């Protein structure tokens, strides 16, 4: 019998899901920021014990380890990347400092954007004194107008090395059309610092990392890749070696932010950013098909953040227009999942600039020291502390009793909020919970309304360690008719990883005219240019898929295009109904797909067909289906949940503005068909469902909980 292991490293906890035949084990361990492999090993060991196996036995029987990591995010937050040198075209040395007009707001929390007079553009990861320009010029048609001189490159490289450069990023103008000058720069660096010497340094070319137009985001992507490359390579390679020591013989698979997995050797560092929440969104898409729910609001409240996404007709094929990684705008393809600082560890504080207004997050207590109730040295009040004070979380049963919490420390932390506001600790805790739930609910509401939908057309999926604890209250702002919680809610993103296919994205920018009413014939599509662009990406895709051990016939190819009317400013991403152009029918099909999406997004008044329809960028997705886990189905047992009652305790309910003795249920003892009326608390080993008065919790055949109005 073989197993699969899926790991999701979060800011507070490392989640693990092991599928071993028909058995599923889930485990959580505090994330160890000093060395992520420690938290990884502890989580897998815990899961192995649940299966009555040793860590070594489990890994020897494992066919794949899929891993999503916050290592990229941690490196950027702590600014621990290497000192790099940037080589660009002469005259463009200030490009990072200039950025784009909106660079001051990129990556800032909406609260921070209000104070524009305090906002500043981000400090570049490669400072100006580590940037050099070389005399060269490729024009927009790919012609070498000014040739590159190798001797000048040598001099500039030596200057960067003398300043301490430990790697090089090369981003020249129009290199995505003609990369020969960037390749020549790499050739010179390799001549000066060959592989056989210890002084050898990594070299990243924008024409290989991100062959796209728009110089600023293209350069940001290659800089981010270079900045994250060394540390991620070292840590993930060390993790791979550790796994091999325990008997795992396969390469480590990394979850990427386009919603797939690939071998470590085929994954760019920048592709790992935000991959965990995206895996959760893809897992929600898979489960929505099991339930037959077309429209789903996907919500993930963890220890550090609150992630949310939207599924329309079961699809999560939404990409961010300008994905921002930390503080830098990029154009890399990333499935759209939004994040706000509203997790269990989010810190409550008083905003003195706003007259001691109570605010929650975005700063988080993390896992060490964590919330005050962890009793590990944290003293600031957090959302988890508020939940403990209000009686929602049982201090003696956190993580199934593996971690003891201190209610006294939680109450003490509330004093820093309560005293200035003239409140009791319980009132302060209730205010914290009300505000954080309103933040989450109203944020999702805006997302749904801006897409042109009404929340009552959706079902809410609530997961993450704190999702079930807060879902009813943040849904009170949405009015969705149904909420679904899951028995594996706290490791949902790890489950999402188990549902992913092998998937890679290949991108290039190429201007191709599909339709021009100013010329005859009107459909003057540049067939050869279009097909050449697709075939070039297809060749790369099949090469990489073959290296993964799959046959070309196993591969599914899907093409997406950035399109626009004429020179319209905004681009529209379109799923192309054709992979190649053979005639006007193919052109018609692609143009019709673009017109339909553009109309839904911008309305009739924004359509300007007289200017023509153009393709600006190509995205070829290559995927290979992988086996999916099967959720166990349980027999119907009846409505009465009395066998699952484990006791009663005082719980604070806003409806009564006081504590009331409340039934406490053991989630492990609830059966298919059971209906729990509110008010009630349902405790699982890794999450807690808070069911207010007027609500009911129905257990379905997968042991998921359906929360509806009673």
Report domain extents, the chain: 3-75+233-272, 78-231, 275-342+436-498, 346-435, 502-624
8 Å CB contact between 81 and 231: yes
Q: Which residue has the tokens 């996907």?
A: 298
pLDDT at position 483 is 97
pLDDT at position 92 is 94
The two three-digit tokens of residue 244, written as one number = 């091999």
Q: CA triplet 415, 416, 421: central angle to 5 degrees?
A: 85
Angstrom distance (rounded) from CA 131 to CA 98: 14
Residue 583 phi/psi, 5-degree rounding, is -175, -175
Q: Which residue has the tokens 């008997």?
A: 247
Cross-strand partners of 403? 398
DSSP 616-681: EEEEEEEEE--------------S--GGGEEEEEEEEETTTTEEEEEEEEEGGG--TT-EEESSEE
Region 502-624: CATH code: 3.30.1490
Angstrom distance (rounded) from CA 113 to CA 188: 44
pLDDT at position 446 is 85
Angstrom distance (rounded) from CA 376 to CA 662: 30
Q: Can you say whether residue 300 is alpha, beta or left, with left for phi > 0 and alpha for psi between -120 and 50 degrees?
A: beta
Query: Smallest Cα–Cα separation from 574: which of 215, 256, 565, 337?
Result: 565
Alpha-carbon dihedral angle through residues 181, 187, 190, 195, given to the nearest 10 degrees:
120
SS3 string, 113-130, reads: HCCCCCCCCCCCCCCHHH
8 Å CB contact between 15 and 28: yes
Cross-strand partners of 310? 297
Residues of the chain with pLDDT under 50: 522-523
62-68 and 459-463 strand pairing? unpaired
Angstrom distance (rounded) from CA 162 to CA 150: 18
pLDDT at position 519 is 58
Determine the topology of domain 275-342+436-498 in CATH: Nucleotidyltransferase; domain 5 (3.30.420)
Angstrom distance (rounded) from CA 201 to CA 223: 15
Angstrom distance (rounded) from CA 212 to CA 149: 25
Alpha carbon separation from 428 to 228, 420, 432, 435 (Å, rounded): 41, 10, 6, 11
pTM of the model: 0.86
pLDDT at position 172 is 96
E strand or H helix that includes residue 6: strand 3-9
Give 11's DSSP letter. Answer: S
Is there a shared CATH topology between the 3-75+233-272 domain and the 275-342+436-498 domain?
Answer: yes
E strand or H helix that includes residue 223: helix 215-245
Query: Smallest Cα–Cα separation from 468: which of 449, 452, 455, 487?
Result: 487
SS3 string, 53-119, reads: CCHHHHHHCEEEEEEECCHHHHHHHHCCCCCCEEEEECCCCCHHHHCCCCCCCCCCCHHHHCCCCCC
Query: Smallest Cα–Cα separation from 441: which of 485, 483, 471?
Result: 471
Query: Smallest Cα–Cα separation from 338: which of 68, 110, 636?
Result: 110
pLDDT at position 318 is 61
pLDDT at position 401 is 86
pLDDT at position 550 is 84
Q: Which residue has the tokens 């054709």?
A: 578
Alpha carbon separation from 328 to 78, 124, 297 (Å, rounded): 15, 9, 27
Angstrom distance (rounded) from CA 636 to CA 634: 7
pLDDT (tens digit, 9 = 90+) per residue, 438-467? 999 998 998 787 777 888 889 999 998 899
DSSP 351-363: EGGGTSEEEEEEE
pLDDT at position 522 is 46
SS3 string, 34-56, reads: CCHHHHHHHHHHHHHHHCCCCHH
Task: Count how many residues are written for the chain.
Answer: 710
Domain 3-75+233-272 sits in which CATH superfamily? ATPase, nucleotide binding domain (3.30.420.40)
Count other C-beta atoms under 10 Å from residue 72's C-beta: 25
Peptide bond before residue 521 is cis, with ω within 30 degrees of 0: yes
């Amino acid at each position: 019998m073989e197993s699969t292991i899926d790991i999701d490293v979060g800011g507070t906890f490392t989640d693990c899901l092991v599928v071993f035949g028909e058995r599923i084990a889930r485990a959580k361990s505090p994330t160890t920021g000093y060395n992520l492999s420690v938290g990884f090993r502890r989580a897998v060991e815990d899961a192995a014990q649940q299966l009555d196996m040793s860590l070594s036995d489990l890994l020897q029987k494992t066919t794949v380890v899929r891993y999503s990591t916050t290592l990229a995010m941690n490196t950027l937050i702590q600014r621990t990347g290497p000192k790099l040198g940037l080589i660009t075209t002469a005259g463009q040395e200030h490009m990072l400092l200039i950025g784009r007009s909106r660079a001051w707001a990129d990556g800032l929390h909406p609260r921070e954007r209000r104070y524009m007079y305090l906002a500043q553009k981000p400090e570049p990861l490669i400072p100006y004194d580590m940037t050099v320009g070389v005399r060269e010029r490729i024009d927009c048609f790919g012609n070498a107008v000014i040739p590159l001189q190798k001797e000048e490159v040598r001099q500039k490289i030596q200057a960067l090395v003398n300043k301490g450069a430990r790697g090089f990023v090369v981003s020249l103008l129009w290199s995505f059309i003609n990369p020969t000058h960037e390749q020549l720069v790499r050739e010179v660096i390799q001549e000066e610092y060959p592989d056989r010497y210890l002084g050898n340094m990594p070299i990243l070319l924008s024409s290989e990392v991100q062959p796209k137009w728009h110089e600023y985001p293209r350069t940001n992507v290659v800089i981010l890749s270079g900045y994250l490359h060394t540390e991620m390579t070292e840590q993930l390679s060390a993790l791979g070696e550790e796994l091999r020591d325990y008997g795992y013989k396969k390469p480590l698979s990394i979850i990427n932010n386009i919603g797939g997995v690939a071998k470590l050797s085929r994954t760019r560092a920048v592709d790992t950013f935000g991959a965990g929440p995206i895996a959760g969104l893809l897992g929600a898409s898979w489960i929505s098909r099991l339930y037959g729910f077309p429209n789903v609001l996907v919500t993930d409240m963890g220890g550090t953040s609150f992630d949310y996404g939207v599924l329309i007709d079961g699809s999560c094929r939404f990409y961010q227009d300008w994905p921002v990684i930390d503080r830098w705008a990029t154009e890399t393809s990333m499935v759209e999942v939004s994040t706000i600082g509203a997790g269990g560890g989010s810190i409550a504080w008083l905003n003195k600039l706003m007259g001691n207004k109570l605010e929650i997050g975005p700063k988080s207590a993390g896992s060490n020291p964590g919330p005050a109730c962890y009793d590990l040295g944290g003293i600031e009040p957090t959302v988890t502390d508020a939940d403990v004070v209000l009686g929602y979380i049982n201090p003696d049963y956190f993580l199934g009793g593996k971690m003891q919490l201190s209610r006294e420390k939680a109450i003490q932390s509330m004093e820093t909020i309560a005293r200035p506001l003239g409140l009791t600790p319980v009132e302060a805790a209730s205010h914290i919970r009300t505000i954080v739930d309103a933040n989450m609910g109203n944020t999702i509401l805006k997302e749904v309304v801006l897409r042109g939908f009404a929340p009552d057309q959706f079902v809410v999926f609530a997961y993450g360690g704190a999702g079930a604890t807060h879902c009813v209250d943040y849904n009170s702002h949405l009015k969705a008719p149904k909420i679904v919680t899951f028995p594996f809610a706290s490791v949902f993103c790890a489950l999402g990883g188990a549902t992913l296919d092998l998937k890679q994205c290949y991108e290039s920018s190429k201007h191709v005219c599909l339709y021009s009413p100013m010329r005859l014939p009107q459909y003057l599509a540049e067939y050869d240019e279009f097909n050449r662009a697709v075939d070039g990406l297809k060749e790369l895709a099949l090469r990489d898929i073959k290296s993964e051990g799959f046959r070309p016939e196993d591969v599914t190819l899907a093409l997406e295009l950035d399109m626009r009317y004429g020179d319209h400013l905004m681009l529209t991403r379109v799923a192309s109904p054709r992979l190649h152009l053979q005639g006007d029918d193919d052109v018609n099909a692609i143009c019709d797909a673009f017109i339909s999406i553009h109309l839904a997004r911008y309305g009739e008044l924004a359509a300007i067909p007289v200017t023509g329809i153009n393709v600006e960028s190509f995205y070829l997705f290559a995927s290979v289906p992988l086996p999916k886990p099967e959720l166990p189905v349980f027999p119907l047992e009846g409505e009465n949940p009395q066998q699952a009652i484990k006791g009663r305790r005082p719980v604070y309910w806003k409806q009564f503005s006081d504590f009331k003795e409340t039934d406490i249920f053991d989630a492990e003892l609830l059966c298919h068909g059971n209906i729990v009326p509110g008010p009630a608390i349902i405790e699982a080993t890794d999450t807690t469902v808070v069911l207010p008065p007027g609500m009911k919790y129905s257990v379905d055949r997968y042991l998921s909980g359906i929360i509806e109005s009673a």
